Amino acid sequence: MLSETVTLDGHIVDSLTLSKVLDLILLHGGAYEIVRVRIGATRADTSSAEIDVKADDAAQLERILHVIGQHGATRPTEAVRSAPAPARGVFPDGFYATTNLDTFVRFGGSWIPVEPIEMDCGILLTGDPADPANLSAAAVPMHRIRKGDRVVVGDAGVRVVPLAPRDPTSLFSFMGSDVSTERPKEIVIAAVARRMREVKAAGQKVLLVGGPAIVHTGAARSLESLIRAGWIDVLFAGNALATHDIERALFGTSLGVEVDTGAPAAHGHEHHLRAINAIRMAGGIRQAVEQALLTTGIMHALIERNVPFVLAGSIRDDGPLPDVITDSVQAQDRMRDHIPGIGIALLVATTLHSVATGNLLPASVTTLCVDSDADTVIKLMDRGSHQAFGLVTDCEFFMKELAARLEEAP
């Protein structure tokens, strides 16, 4: 039987990290002996443990060390290893696949941060290996790799920092992974408003990712007012949100339903096509604003306030609007450009764009998923980032309450 000793540091008891690591060793057929453990005497103190991991053979030991490495169990320090990419858009064999947790690589005796970090990427090393001070490491998606790029392989010399435990006295912590609808939601929304104020005060950005139900339900008014008041720094959406917002601006309807009365309009189901056609004729959304064709709504507010947005295409789109990026890889890259500096991400009433954004966000970003369907929220959290909170409610109610809370004096 082979063994190797790993160390675990940080809030490993109250973040449940120690328990998880011990469970994973057993789950993958290994055994363990705790060599030494020191538990912080107060909440402020961190803890540490030294664990002897045992396995039947080298392959199993390697597997276990890899798995627990992703929860912060660090092996005796050796330098990170890399290999050249064999072709454009292809990682070398044995590439290290990233998580969205803070990650470091060991080089020249120091730990170099992987910046930016993003899940399901490789780690690209750049700079002169002979000069560690100038070496940098970044998570890079597969399609961006060029032949010959140096990409990290194996686990040695890679360290991830477990997600800090949630502050048990914070309002968010009550939500946990709970997606129950039977909670007072006003309180949760008030906490979101407070977090948005903190994010803005810290000079970070607020990201809103939204689906067309925001327009269909009449919540567009609230979102528009949030944008005009400067609360939203970047918006990710699809053709549908922008189209129905413009439909509402031009015809007063959303998917053919009059937003102010709930009545189906005559010719209503065609309004979204006529809206798209009009913007195509104008040349784009900004042009439509400049030509005074578009004078109200979410998209108008974004243009007027110079808030950047990414409209990503999908195969269910009609038209689409000229501003829609129809290539999904390009659209992802444009979304990536806006990720740095985001402090809170609100994912509202869209499964597709929420999962896509969750894939790009570092675990350190406060992330809230809002949907009226518990199943959707569960799916998001299953796939997405474990840092996400779920709120099962109407986007109409959420946006209206949020706007009301942010209009109040802080």
Q: Is 399 in the site for a copy of itself (CB under 8 A)?
A: no
Please say which residue, 135 or 331, places its beta carbon nearer to a copy of itself: 331
Binding string, residues 294-313; x marks residues near a copy of itself by CB under 8 A: ------------------xx
Binding test (CB under 8 A) with a copy of itself, winner from 34, 133, 201, 229: 34
Please say which residue, 135 or 391, places its beta carbon nearer to a copy of itself: 391
Of 72-80, 125-133, 226-234, 322-330: span binding a copy of itself (CB under 8 A): 322-330
- Please identify which residue in the block is written with the tokens 């209503």: 268
| Tokens, residue 81 | 């290893």
Site for a copy of itself in 253-292 (CB under 8 A): 255, 257, 259-264, 266-267, 269-270, 273-274, 276-277, 280-281
Q: Are 136 and 115 in contact (CB under 8 A)?
A: yes
Site for a copy of itself in 102-121 (CB under 8 A): 120
202 three-class SS: coil
| Tokens, residue 391 | 């709120």
Of 126-134, 186-194, 227-235, 293-301: span binding a copy of itself (CB under 8 A): 186-194
Can you give the length of the chain in residues?
A: 410
Cβ atoms within 10 Å of 265's Cβ, excluding its own? 17
253 three-class SS: strand
Binding test (CB under 8 A) with a copy of itself, winner from 57, 78, 186, 407: 186
Q: Is 337 in the site for a copy of itself (CB under 8 A)?
A: no
Q: Which amino acid is at 263?
A: A
Q: Are 126 and 82 in contact (CB under 8 A)?
A: no
Q: Is 242 in the site for a copy of itself (CB under 8 A)?
A: no
Cis before residue 320, ω within 30 degrees of 0? yes
Measured CA to CA, the distance from residue 303 to residue 76 in angstroms comes to: 53
SS3 per-residue string spanning 73-125? CECCCCCCEEEECCECCECCCCECCCCCCCEEEEECCEEEEECCCCCCCEEEE
Q: Are 244 and 254 in contact (CB under 8 A)?
A: yes
Q: Is 63 in the site for a copy of itself (CB under 8 A)?
A: yes
Q: Considering CB under 8 A, how many residues would be counted as binding a copy of itself?
A: 114
Please say which residue, 229 or 374, places its beta carbon nearer to a copy of itself: 374
Site for a copy of itself in 138-177 (CB under 8 A): 141-143, 168-169, 171, 174, 177
Please say which residue, 135 or 345, places its beta carbon nearer to a copy of itself: 345
Binding test (CB under 8 A) with a copy of itself, winner from 396, 399, 403, 406: 396
